[in-house]
Amino acid sequence: MTTLDLLNKKAPAFKLTDQDGEIHNLKDYAGKLLVLYFYPKDLTPGCTIEACNFRDNLARVKSAGAAVLGVSADSVQRHAKFAAAMSLNFPVLSDESHEMLNTYGVWQEKRMMGKKYMGIVRTTLIIDEQGTIRKIWTDVKVNGHVDEVIATLKEIK
């Protein structure tokens, strides 16, 4: 299964812990739009830019009626350091088991310098108020991405 197989289908349920030890379930976001973004690793350049772009534009995302959740395989403790260092104002969820990452099709084989390894493909989804995945971006380029997300949220709303 790939992430794109989920387009226009019900989002798979999840239950993950954020940087503050709070548990988040998909059902907690029923009735509102949800931006769910998957990123490879805390405190790395691209992931930091992406998180800070969501942080800096959170008011715009909220005014479009949406919440934001970031997800990676980093530990809750590492997320806490990342969130504190970057003053993140939204939850980042830990999936060390890769269960959600596999379910959403973002845990994939990657290549770097001729070596193969498993990792997260930078991906963003918009889930609508009824829990249906309405938009998917894969292999996200972080510059300008949040503006695309906000424009799409306004179209969906």
Domain borders along the chain are: 3-156
Residue 130 Cα distances to 36, 37, 104, angstroms: 15, 18, 18
Q: What angle do CA 17, 21, 25 make, to 5 degrees?
A: 35
Given 6, 26, 47, 64, the catalytic residue? 47
pLDDT digits (tens, 9 = 90+) for 55-103: 999 999 999 999 999 999 999 999 999 999 999 999 999 999 999 999 9
Report whether CATH 3.30.420.40 matches the domain 3-156. Answer: no
- In the chain, the N- to C-terminal Cα span, in Å, equals 28
Q: Is the pLDDT of residue 140 over 90?
A: yes
> Tell me, what's the pLDDT at 102?
96
Better-predicted residue by pLDDT, 157 or 113: 113
Q: Name the pTM for this structure.
A: 0.95
pLDDT digits (tens, 9 = 90+) for 4-36: 789 999 999 999 999 999 999 999 999 999 999
Q: Are 153 and 63 in contact (CB under 8 A)?
A: no
Alpha helices in the chain (DSSP H): 45-56, 58-63, 76-86, 99-103, 145-156
Q: Is the pLDDT of residue 157 over 90?
A: no
Q: Is the pLDDT of residue 154 over 90?
A: yes
What percent of the chain is modeled with pLDDT above 90?
95
52 is catalytic: no
Q: Is the pLDDT of residue 2 over 80?
A: no
State the Cα–Cα distance between residues 132 and 92, nearest whole angstrom. Answer: 21
> Tell me, what's the pLDDT at 1?
58
> Tell me, what's the pLDDT at 81?
98
